[in-house]
């Protein structure tokens, strides 16, 4: 007989690990990724490859040579960040811009805070917002959706996005919103919803944050629409267009940067929904999901403090 | 343009004045009267806030020194006699000198001496392990090897030796604050006088089991044979619960106990020469032979005296 | 039928009740037995026999040494050959009475027959005295002396007795087996407890993964209700399968929809919780005058060739039990006394069985080895899993930093150490390992204030 193991209870452990959770997020993002590759072609593949490889590579280099501690690329979180970053960029983004994004995401937003679990802001969103402010032209030029053209080469004709400058938002139909040009991951709402269902089935996330964002957007945009339908877009279009789907399903639900309790999560989601519509309608940027999530990320410690879990026997 | 600048300067200036006045008033209203000597004493303290003196930090210690009016119960183990002299000078008090001390690990249960009988698989904490069971080896008393003492040390004086599984004290860094002695759930670490040039002899074992049991668990255990007690001419060694203890105040560093110890549980450190067991044993033998002779002589003398007694009675 | 469950947290580990269909077998007697003086919560008992004394099975060999303490009886007939310290399963020394077994002669006045005695004494004091004199303690894990629990302090009244048949720990099947094989005795035991508490109604809660036990118990209640009036207030309820359903506070919440206040006792919420095995012991103590010297334990594990449920006597060395079951399996990396969630890992197999022994569980290294701890990803699984509604991730951080005031403010002392947080942590953070000692510290601080 071997030497007996002795440890405090419990003696069994779930087989759900950080790596498996991250892998599930990657799988959930696959439909959206595939759609983006099909419609944006080579250029999108390049963005994806640069983003993922540089995120993982940077995490490896920084943890090993700069921080001199155990390398953490095994937990797959850098892959998720890279994938999300790529899906948040237009497919024609030059590779060096993508690389800068990766440096900001992994180097600044993640590892300078202490790595996975310590970062206050979602790394992919920090990178996206950084790029949006630094390279506004590149970040708001989206190619036309054209599967046939996309595979000819790296140049693509630029097309209009739904929420671009000078677009009459009241003319957008639900059909447009379900399938439209934009950042790579935002093309197909259905692909994103498929990912959402997968995450729920695998119990990777709970639906409350996402649903509360949707609800708030619907209600708030609905009120505005009732007030003046000639200026504001219909609530359903507001929900389906732009980055709300990608943001609410994959970015706002990031474990590290969202509240711990369900109650906190609902407050967090309502805040994101409100801020998104406020920025869209009255801000200087056409889209506000990233800013909304970042602002609410900053509120998470406060939300955690004021929304503790419901304790047993302390009603 | 110029008026804008002027207004800005004026407003900021006015704001500055108002706030300054408010700060002054508040500061004078909520001023806390404190003995200025506390600050002075604090200045000469080491400033490590280690708690070795029994107070929360250096300031609390300084306050206690000032308030007590004498230094009988206050001693800073980190700064030692030098610091205490300075404190005494500041306060105009007298201080008794204390012999410098050092933390001593009283366990020699290395991997070879003390075979492992089970494997601990919980968090690396001696405290948690000791709450759970008696440890990975057959010895219920010895070092558990999780390094709680290392974590407790604020001076970096302790480290785990991976080859032995025991902590090692760096005497040059140890300040005898006693944090490790409190952190050790098995009370393996003791503060002992450093001794001249660091030379000291101590029992490197805390096992109170009967000899056979202790020996079975660890080859270097004190088996309570009592040879050292018999050998010591200074009465420095006591035996309690099958465990020898050397009083460092009485020990004269003759190393005889170390030479006669059959398991090597008694350790002498920092001696310039290696222990010459045979020479010391010969010395002891000689002395014992002499003592036996003397005893014999004394006995004869006593006999003679007894024989003489009747005569004295008669007289 | 509606299935009951508690309202906060909980987890669903695989139930692994692979020994559920194995009938209870009686173990033979070993040559020597070692009876521990600390088989109950509270002060250890004081031996009243001396080395060389002849004892019979069921004879008192130790007396309680405090209010919360219990009698200990000899499990076999023979000679007392030593009264000496001996290591328990954790290696800690405790006084044991060593009995060299000679034959199997029981004390007079103990009814060893199998006939069901349904006439329940009406005298409360008599019932409590029988329970006390026969050394009955709670067999659900805490081994709290039963006679103390059945005598609520003045001013407090039991409104409901809950008989705990949840057996929510994976692998364990001893309660399942007694509920199937000895259902009538348990029901009479429940009726006795009810009588002792002034006819207070009894609910027997059984988890849904034991349909056979639910059926047997329901039938026993139906049958006995016709002949024994005290059984009229007993009913069986099905509980959802969710860990820790058998936790005292969780069970009260599930059955009575009441949450015991923080720091309060179940009796403050009008509840008395007893394990089904305790009810059986109460039956034997009161109706048969038989002291608590036997209990049922499960020898199980995927690496164990044959699964067993054994009727053992206290004082049998665990190694003897293991031997009877075919020896410790080769692949066993950890042996656990109790369930895998709250049981204790055994460091010393020479330790003896005690009243509360419920299993000998073998787990392989693959099943039990702790995953390497990585960074907390703040996923909130521990918060969702905690049946007390605590935030284990926060408590862990505070415990690491030694923030006693904050730990108390975040109710660390409410922790029931069920292990849900550590079980489900994807990062393998040893949450409970640090929360457990912090809880002890805070409770000590709170007590010192009073």
Residue C211 above 90 pLDDT?
A: yes
Mean pLDDT, to the nearest integer, of A267-288?
Answer: 90
Give me the numbers of helices (H) and strands (E) for chain B, helices first please.
11, 9
What's the pLDDT tens digit per position in B78-106? Answer: 888 888 888 888 888 888 888 888 999 99
Distance CA C314, CA B3 (A): 96
Range in A130-144, B166-180, C38-52, C169-183 the model is least confident about: A130-144
3-state class of C300 per DSSP? strand
CB-based contact A261 C363, cutoff 8 Å = no
Q: What are the E-state strand segments in A47-195?
A: 142-143, 158-159
Neighbouring subunits of C (3+ Cβ pairs under 8 A): A, B
What's the pLDDT tens digit per position in A74-120? Answer: 899 999 999 999 999 988 889 999 999 999 999 999 999 988 999 99
As a CATH number, domain B101-269 is: 3.30.70.20
Find the CB nearest C90 among B122, B123, B132: B132
The answer to whether C430 faces chain B, any CB pair under 8 Å, is yes
Mean pLDDT, to the nearest integer, of A199-206?
Answer: 94
What is the per-residue burial (b if ≥16 Cβ within 10 Å, else e) of B178-206?
A: bbbbebbbbebbbbbbbbeeeebbbbbbb
Distance CA A127, CA A125 (A): 5
pLDDT of residue A159: 57
Q: Put the strands of the sheet holding C93-101 in their side by side order.
A: C32-36, C93-101, C78-87, C54-55
Q: Put the strands of the sheet holding C60-63 in their side by side order.
A: C46-47, C60-63, C72-73
Distance CA B220, CA B139 (A): 11
Query: Which residues of chain C neighbour B121 with C-beta distances below 8 Å?
Result: 334, 368-370
CB-based contact A6 B121, cutoff 8 Å = yes
pLDDT of residue A41: 83
Query: Which residues of chain C neighbour B140 with C-beta distances below 8 Å?
Result: 91-93
| CA nearest to C397, candidates C417, C383, C418 | C383
Neighbouring subunits of A (3+ Cβ pairs under 8 A): B, C
Residue C226 above 50 pLDDT?
A: yes
Query: Which residues of chain B neighbour C440 with C-beta distances below 8 Å?
Result: 131
What's the pLDDT tens digit per position in B51-62? Answer: 778 788 888 888
Residue B312 above 60 pLDDT?
A: no
The answer to whether A12 faces chain B, any CB pair under 8 Å, is no
What's the pLDDT tens digit per position in C151-195? Answer: 988 889 999 999 999 999 999 999 999 999 999 999 999 999 999
| CA nearest to A311, candidates B293, C408, B170 | C408
Distance CA C28, CA C22 (A): 18
Residue A2 above 70 pLDDT?
A: no
3-state class of B119 per DSSP? strand
Contact A142, A161 (CB under 8 A): yes
Residue A250 above 90 pLDDT?
A: yes
| CA nearest to A233, candidates A312, A145, A174 | A174
At a CB cut-off of 8 Å and minimum separation 6, what does A155 contact?
none
Q: What ipTM does this complex have?
A: 0.90
Distance CA C117, CA C134 (A): 17
pLDDT of residue A238: 85
User: What pTM value is reported for the model?
Assistant: 0.89
Q: Which two tokens stand for residue A258?
A: 């969202």
Query: Which residues of chain C neighbour B117 with C-beta distances below 8 Å?
Result: 347
pLDDT of residue B70: 80
- Which residue out of C339, C426, C437 would a mutagenesis test of the A interface target, given it has the greatest number of A Cβ atoms within 10 Å? C426
- The residue extents of the domains of chain B are 37-91, 101-269
CA A262, A263, A269, A272 torsion-angle sign: negative
What's the pLDDT tens digit per position in A40-79? Answer: 888 889 999 999 999 999 999 999 998 888 888 889 999 9
Query: Which residues of chain A neighbour C380 with C-beta distances below 8 Å?
Result: 255, 260-261
CB-based contact B119 A8, cutoff 8 Å = no
pLDDT category of residue C333 using cuts at 50, 70 and 90: very high
Considering chain B, what is the average pLDDT of its residues? 89
Q: Does CATH number 3.10.129.10 belong to domain B37-91?
A: no
Higher pLDDT, A152 or A232: A232
Range in A167-176, B109-118, B163-172, B247-256 the model is least confident about: A167-176
Distance CA A117, CA A128 (A): 20
- Which residue out of B111, B114, B115, B122 would a mutagenesis test of the A interface target, given it has the greatest number of A Cβ atoms within 10 Å? B122
**How far off is chain C from A258, nearest CA to CA, in Å?**
8
Number of residue pairs across A and C with CB atoms under 8 Å? 153
What's the pLDDT tens digit per position in C361-411? Answer: 999 999 998 988 999 999 999 999 999 999 999 999 999 999 999 999 999
Q: Which two tokens stand for residue A54?
A: 């540089």
Distances (CA, A) of A278 to A126, A286, B208: 20, 11, 74
What's the pLDDT tens digit per position in C280-328? Answer: 999 999 999 999 999 999 999 999 999 999 999 999 999 999 999 999 9
Q: Read off the DSSP letter of residue C65.
A: -
pLDDT of residue A43: 86
Considering chain A, what is the average pLDDT of its residues? 88
If you measure CA to CA, which chain B residue comes closest to C432?
B123
pLDDT of residue B315: 44
Look up tokens 């892959």; give the residue: A79
DSSP class per residue in C232-271: GGEEEEEE-S-BTTTSHHHHHHHHH--PPPTT--GGGGTE
CB-based contact C93 B123, cutoff 8 Å = no
Kindly report whether the peptide bond that precedes residue B236 is cis, defined as omega within 30 degrees of 0.
no
Q: How far apart are the first and last CA of chain C?
A: 47
């Amino acid at each position: 007989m071997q030497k007996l193991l002795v440890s405090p209870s419990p003696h069994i452990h779930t087989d759900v690990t950080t790596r498996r959770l991250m892998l599930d997020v990657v799988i959930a993002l696959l439909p959206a990724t595939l759609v983006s590759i099909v419609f944006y072609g080579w250029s999108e593949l390049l963005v994806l490859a640069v983003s993922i490889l540089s995120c993982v590579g940077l995490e490896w280099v920084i943890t090993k040579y700069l921080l001199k501690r155990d390398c953490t690329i095994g937990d797959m979180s850098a892959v998720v960040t890279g994938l999300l970053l790529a899906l948040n960029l237009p497919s024609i983004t030059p590779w060096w811009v993508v690389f800068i994004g990766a440096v900001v995401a992994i180097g600044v937003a993640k590892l300078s805070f202490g790595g996975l679990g310590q970062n206050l802001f979602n790394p992919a969103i920090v990178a996206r917002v950084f790029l949006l402010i630094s390279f506004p032209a590149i970040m708001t030029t989206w190619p036309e959706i054209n599967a046939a053209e996309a595979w000819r080469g790296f140049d693509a004709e630029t097309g209009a996005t739904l929420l671009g400058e000078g677009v009459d938002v009241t003319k957008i139909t639900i059909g447009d919103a379900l399938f439209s040009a934009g950042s790579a991951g935002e093309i197909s709402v259905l692909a994103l919803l498929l990912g959402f269902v997968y995450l729920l089935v695998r119990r990777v996330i709970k639906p409350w944050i996402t649903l509360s964002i949707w609800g708030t957007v619907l209600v708030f945009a609905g009120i505005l629409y009732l007030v003046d339908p000639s200026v504001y877009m219909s609530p359903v279009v507001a929900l389906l267009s732009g980055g709300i789907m990608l943001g609410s399903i994959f970015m706002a639900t990031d474990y590290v940067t969202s509240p711990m309790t369900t109650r906190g999560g609902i407050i967090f989601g309502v805040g994101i929904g409100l801020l998104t519509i406020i920025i869209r309608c009255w801000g200087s940027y056409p889209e506000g999901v990233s800013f909304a999530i970042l602002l609410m990320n900053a509120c998470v410690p406060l939300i955690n403090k004021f929304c503790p879990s419901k304790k047993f026997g302390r009603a | 343009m110029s008026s804008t600048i002027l207004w800005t300067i004026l407003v900021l200036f006015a704001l500055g004045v108002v706030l300054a006045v408010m700060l002054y008033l508040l500061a004078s209203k909520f001023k806390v009267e404190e003995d200025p000597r506390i600050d002075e004493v604090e200045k000469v303290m080491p400033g490590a806030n280690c708690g070795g003196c029994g107070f929360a930090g250096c300031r609390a210690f300084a306050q206690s020194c000032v308030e007590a009016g004498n230094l009988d119960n206050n001693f800073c183990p980190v700064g030692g006699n030098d610091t205490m002299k300075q404190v005494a000078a500041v306060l105009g008090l007298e201080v008794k000198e204390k012999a410098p001390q050092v933390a001593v690990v009283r366990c020699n249960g290395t991997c070879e001496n003390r075979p492992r009988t089970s494997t601990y698989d919980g968090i690396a904490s001696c405290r948690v392990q000791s709450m759970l069971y008696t440890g990975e080896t057959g010895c219920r008393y010895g070092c558990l090897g999780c390094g709680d003492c290392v974590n407790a040390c604020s001076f970096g004086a302790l480290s785990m030796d991976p080859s032995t599984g025991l902590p090692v004290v760096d005497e040059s860094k140890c300040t005898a604050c006693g944090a490790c002695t409190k952190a050790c759930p098995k009370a393996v670490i003791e503060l002992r006088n450093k001794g001249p040039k660091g030379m000291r002899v101590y029992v490197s074992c805390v096992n109170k089991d009967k000899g056979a049991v202790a020996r079975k668990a660890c080859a270097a255990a004190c088996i309570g044979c009592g040879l050292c007690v018999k050998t010591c001419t200074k009465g420095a060694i006591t035996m309690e619960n099958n465990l020898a203890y050397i009083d460092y105040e009485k020990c004269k560093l003759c190393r005889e106990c170390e030479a006669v110890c059959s398991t090597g549980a008694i350790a002498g450190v920092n001696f310039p020469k290696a222990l010459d067991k045979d020479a010391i044993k010969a010395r002891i033998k000689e002395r014992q032979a002499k003592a036996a002779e003397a005893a014999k002589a004394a006995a004869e003398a006593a006999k003679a005296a007894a024989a003489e007694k009747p005569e004295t009675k008669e007289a | 039928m509606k299935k009951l469950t508690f309202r906060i947290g909980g987890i669903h580990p695989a139930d692994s009740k692979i020994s559920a269909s194995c009938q209870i077998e009686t173990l033979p007697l070993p040559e020597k037995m070692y009876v521990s003086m600390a088989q109950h919560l509270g002060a250890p008992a004081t031996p009243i026999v001396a080395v060389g004394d002849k004892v019979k099975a069921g004879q008192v060999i130790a007396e309680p040494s405090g209010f919360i303490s219990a009698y200990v009886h000899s499990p076999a007939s023979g000679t007392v050959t030593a009264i000496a310290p001996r290591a328990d399963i954790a290696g800690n020394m405790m006084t044991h009475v060593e009995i060299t077994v000679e034959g199997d002669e029981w004390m007079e006045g103990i009814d060893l027959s199998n006939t069901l005695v349904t006439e329940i004494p009406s005298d409360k004091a008599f019932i409590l005295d029988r329970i006390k004199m026969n050394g009955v303690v709670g067999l659900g894990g805490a081994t709290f002396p039963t006679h103390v629990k059945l005598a609520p302090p003045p001013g407090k009244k039991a409104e409901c007795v809950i008989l705990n048949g949840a057996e929510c720990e994976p692998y364990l099947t001893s309660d399942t087996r007694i509920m199937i094989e000895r259902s009538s005795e348990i029901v009479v035991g429940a009726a006795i407890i009810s009588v002792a508490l002034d006819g207070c109604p009894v609910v027997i809660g059984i988890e849904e993964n034991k349909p056979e036990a639910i059926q047997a118990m329901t039938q026993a209640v139906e049958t006995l209700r016709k002949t024994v009036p005290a059984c009229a207030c007993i009913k069986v309820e099905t509980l959802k399968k969710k860990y820790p359903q058998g936790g005292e506070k969780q069970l009260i919440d599930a059955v009575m929809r009441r949450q015991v206040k923080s720091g309060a006792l179940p009796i403050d919420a009008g509840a008395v919780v007893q394990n089904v095995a305790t009810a059986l012991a109460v039956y034997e103590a009161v109706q048969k005058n038989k002291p608590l010297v036997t209990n049922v334990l499960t020898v199980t594990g995927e690496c164990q060739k044959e699964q067993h449920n054994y009727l053992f006597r206290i004082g049998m060395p665990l190694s003897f039990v293991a031997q009877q079951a075919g020896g410790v399996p080769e692949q066993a990396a950890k042996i656990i006394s109790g369930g895998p969630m709250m049981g204790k890992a055994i460091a010393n197999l020479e330790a003896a069985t005690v009243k509360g022994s419920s299993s000998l569980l073998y787990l392989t290294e693959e099943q039990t080895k702790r995953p390497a701890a990585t960074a907390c990803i703040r996923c909130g699984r521990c918060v969702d899993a905690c049946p007390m509604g605590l935030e284990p991730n926060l408590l862990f951080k505070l415990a690491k930093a030694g923030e006693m005031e904050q730990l108390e403010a975040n109710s660390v002392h409410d922790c029931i150490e069920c292990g849900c947080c550590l079980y489900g942590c994807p990062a393998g953070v040893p949450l409970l390992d640090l929360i457990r000692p912090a809880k002890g510290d805070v409770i000590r601080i709170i007590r010192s204030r009073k």
